[in-house]
Amino acid sequence: MVLPEGYKFVKLLGEGGQSFVELAKTPNQELVAVKHYNETNYDIFLYEILGLKLIGLYIDHIVIDDMYYLIMKPGDFQIYDWMNQNSDPELLSDFYRDVIQQLAVCQQHGLIHCDVKMHNVIYTNEPFKGDISI
C-alpha cells in the first residue's frame, strides 16, 4: 500500500471490491482517510469526489501515474458496529432518516449510490451528531 509523498500510514480502515481505505497522517499531521483506486476505477473515483463534495467530507484528491487517491475526513464511527449493540426504535428511525436524506441529496444532483449497506455508513462523530458518509 503506497501513499502519496508525505503521508504516513496509521491503519487500514476497510477494503472492498473496488478500493481500500487507510487512515493516514498528512504532512501537517492531520488525520485523514485515504481511499485508493487504480486506473480501471477512474469513473468511480470521479463519482465519489462529487458525492463527498456534496456532503462536505471531501478534502482533496491526488493522481500519481495510474493511481488515484481520494483524501477525505475520516469517519469516527461506523454505524454497523453501533447497530449491533443498540436497538432503540427512536434512534433507528433517526438513522434511517439521515440515510434517506443523504441519498436524496445525491439523487438531486444526478448521482445514484450503487452500494448502500451498513458497512458503508459512517459518521464523522458519534451517531446523529456529525456528518454522515454513505
Give the tens place of pLDDT for each residue, 35-69. Answer: 888 777 766 777 677 666 666 677 888 888 888 88
Instruction: Using the structure block, give the residue that is written with the C-alpha cell 503521508.
Output: 7
Instruction: Read off the pLDDT of each residue in 10-22 and give the average, rounded to a whole number.
Output: 82
Q: Which residue has the higher pLDDT, 67 or 122?
A: 67
CB proximity list for 2: less than 8 A, separation 6 or greater: 67
Q: Which three cell numbers stand for residue 106?
A: 445525491
Pairing of strands 122-123, 132-133: antiparallel
Global pTM value = 0.63
Q: Which residue has the higher pLDDT, 55 or 25?
A: 25
Query: Is pLDDT above 70 for 122?
Result: no
Query: Residue 102 in contact with residue 108, Cβ under 8 Å?
Result: no
What is the band of 73 on the pLDDT scale with cuts at 50, 70, 90?
confident
Q: What domains can be seen in the chain, in order of their start residue?
A: 8-72 (3.30.200.20), 77-133 (no CATH)
- What SS3 state is found at 58? strand
What is the band of 25 on the pLDDT scale with cuts at 50, 70, 90?
very high
**Any idea which of 52-61, 107-116, 120-129 has the lowest mean pLDDT?**
120-129
The rounded mean pLDDT for the chain is 76
What torsion do the CA atoms of 59, 94, 96, 51 make, to the nearest 10 degrees? -20
Instruction: Supply the pLDDT for residue 78.
Output: 60
